[in-house]
Amino acid sequence: MPAKRSQTARSKASELVLVLHGPNLNLLGKREPGVYGATTLRQIDAQLRRLASELNVDIETFQSNSEGEIIDRIHAAAGRVGAIVINPGAYTHTSVAIRDALLAVRLPVIEAHLSNTHKRESFRRRSLITDIAVGQVMGFGAQSYLLALRAAVDLLAPRRG
Is 91 annotated in the active site? no
Q: Which of 21, 36, 91, 145 is labelled catalytic?
A: 36
Q: 3-state DSSP call for residue 146? A: helix
Q: Does residue 144 contact residue 137 with C-beta atoms inside 8 Å? A: yes
Contact 130, 161 (CB under 8 A): no
Which residue, among 67, 82, 55, 75, has the nearest Cα to 128 in the 3D structure? 67
Residues 51 and 146: beta-carbon distance below 8 Å = yes
75 is catalytic: no
Choosing from 21, 91, 113, 145, which is the catalytic residue?
Answer: 113
Q: What angle do CA 53, 54, 57 make, to 5 degrees?
A: 50
In degrees and rounded to multiples of 5, residue 18 shows phi and psi of: -95, 125
Active site (catalytic) residues: 36, 113
